[in-house]
Amino acid sequence: MLNYMSAKEAAEKWNISQRRVSILCSENRILGAMMVGNMWIIPANAEKPIDKRTIRYEKSKYISLKPFVKWVGGKGQLIGELEKHIPNDGDRALPKYAEPFVGGGALLFSLLSKNTFDEIYISDINTELVNTYQVIKNNVDELVAALVEIQDSFLPLNDENRKNYYYASREEYNQLILNKYTAVQKAALFIFLNKTCFNGLYRVNRKGQFNVPMGAYKKPTICDEDNLRNVSEALQNVTIYCGDYSKSKTFIDNATLVYLDPPYRPLTETASFTAYSVDCFDDNEQRRLAKFVDEINELGAKVILSNSDPQNVNKEDDFFQQLYSKYRIKKVEATRMINRNSDKRGKINELLIRNY
């Protein structure tokens, strides 16, 4: 008679988590595994399946995904530091990832390039940014066609005509937002404006209209077709949500790594830049976020959060030390790009706060 072992016994034998064993069973990857009641039983002589996540990593490791927009507060230059803190423990690595303030997704795309998570959830409060993620996921062919058309019209123009084209496109984009026009056209204009506007800013007025002036680029890449197609493929299993970060709580559990990158707490009153949307992210919002961190910490999630370090300008300012006194706080060096006073750009500290 065939002997069986429980999922717990298999997990111990194969040195993987019990949850991973259940996933392998439900994916029919263990010959002869059966559900009895609500438990899996596995033939005692079953072989440990090859980790498909490792194969996926092997297959895709040469595809390097990049953010499809420049984004204020983008974490491109902090990736190395952030990745040092991503728990990565072979088969015991966390299967779920949530990035509720995704923005341009610098860390998301770096992680997606390695493809190590089973389930991913991203969100942002910026409706037009989220529309663009969704269009890339669902309509990449139409988007590429629209961008190629824009690129072919814009690049041959002289400076004066480029300027006219940019401001006419900005006007058209604001009309599309008002009239809830088709998703693909809005996404194409969103990417075009991002690639040609001043510093890739996304700033809106009180009515929610995009009001960033044109930037100075000789040959901006408006349609990076390869990257858009690779991103589209990588987003196929990603849940994309438009709205407040707190909604991610339904996805988060003790198998989830959560990266929180909220709008910066401004270093000085004049340096404030928080207008990614009409809502602002003030100190009360930072406190609400800290409560959310406590809640997901209680759920057992691994949480990592980044923010500006107020002690760059005021050594006495211990706002985040007070707010996150329960957690580990590390200072890391970064170059701040957004400051009205350009001579204040340079190396400053950022904070990495984590519960593990």
**Residue ranges in contact with ligand SAM by CB under 6 A:** 71, 73-75, 100-101, 103-106, 123-126, 244-245, 261-263, 276-277, 281
To ligand SAM, the closest distance from the beta carbon of 83 in angstroms equals 13
Tally of CA atoms within 13 A in the half-sphere of 140 that contains its CB:
18
Inter-residue contact 23 to 95 (CB < 8 Å)? yes
To ligand SAM, the closest distance from the beta carbon of 85 in angstroms equals 14
- Please identify, using beta-carbon distances, which residue of 91 and 282 lies nearer to ligand SAM: 282
6 pairs with which residues across the strands?
41
CA–CA distance, 122 with 133 (Å, rounded to integer): 10
To ligand SAM, the closest distance from the beta carbon of 52 in angstroms equals 28
- Please identify, using beta-carbon distances, which residue of 40 and 68 lies nearer to ligand SAM: 68
- Please identify, using beta-carbon distances, which residue of 93 and 337 lies nearer to ligand SAM: 337
Closest CA to 144 of 57, 224, 49: 224
Find the DSSP H helices in the chain.
7-14, 18-26, 52-60, 79-84, 106-114, 127-138, 140-154, 159-179, 183-196, 225-234, 283-298, 319-323
How far is residue 311 CA from its own chain's centroid?
26
- Please identify, using beta-carbon distances, which residue of 263 and 310 lies nearer to ligand SAM: 263
Our CA angle for 306, 351, 342, nearest 5°, is 90
To ligand SAM, the closest distance from the beta carbon of 275 in angstroms equals 9
To ligand SAM, the closest distance from the beta carbon of 289 in angstroms equals 8
- Please identify, using beta-carbon distances, which residue of 154 and 276 lies nearer to ligand SAM: 276
- Please identify, using beta-carbon distances, which residue of 43 and 215 lies nearer to ligand SAM: 215
Residue 3: Cβ within 10 Å count = 8
Determine the residue type at 264. Y
Inter-residue contact 142 to 204 (CB < 8 Å)? no
To ligand SAM, the closest distance from the beta carbon of 25 in angstroms equals 36
**Residues in contact with 155: Cβ distance below 8 Å, sequence separation at least 6, in sequence order:** 219, 222
To ligand SAM, the closest distance from the beta carbon of 231 in angstroms equals 14
- Please identify, using beta-carbon distances, which residue of 129 and 189 lies nearer to ligand SAM: 129
Helix, strand, or coil (residue 251) = coil
CB-based burial, 6-44: b 16+ in 10 Å, e otherwise: ebeebbeebebbebbbbbbbeeeebeebeeeeeebbbbe
* φ and ψ at residue 15, rounded to 5 degrees: 60, 45
- Please identify, using beta-carbon distances, which residue of 73 and 95 lies nearer to ligand SAM: 73
To ligand SAM, the closest distance from the beta carbon of 311 in angstroms equals 19
To ligand SAM, the closest distance from the beta carbon of 238 in angstroms equals 15
- Please identify, using beta-carbon distances, which residue of 75 and 354 lies nearer to ligand SAM: 75
**Residues in contact with 199: Cβ distance below 8 Å, sequence separation at least 6, in sequence order:** 70, 72, 215, 337, 338
